[in-house]
Amino acid sequence: MSTRTVDNPKVVSRDEWLAARKKLLAKEKQLTRERDAIAAERRQLPWVKVEKNYVFDSTSGKKALADLVGGKSLFRFNLPRRRNTAT
């Protein structure tokens, strides 16, 4: 069993706290901008047309993926990484 204790942050004046908070806020805003930029890049990744005939069980029997989306063209835009299952 661990006997580690958590140290409390030091107590400072309001002005010191405000300066530290503004510094942290600037970092948080930069992180948000970077995350938004990465998300925008992800949305611009090229798509791959789904050509495999996926079939699903539905309440009205087996349905092809195209039937589930009203026959629209389908594109896969976030391909999962292939895992090497060999050990």
Q: What is the pLDDT along the chain (87 residues), one digit of tens a residue?
A: 567 778 899 999 999 999 999 999 999 999 999 999 999 998 888 888 777 888 889 898 998 887 887 777 666 555 556 666 554
pTM for the full model?
Answer: 0.55
CA-CA-CA-CA torsion sign (79, 81, 84, 85)? negative
The per-residue pLDDT for 62 is 94
The per-residue pLDDT for 5 is 76
> What's the rounded Cα separation, in Å, for the pair 66 and 30?
42
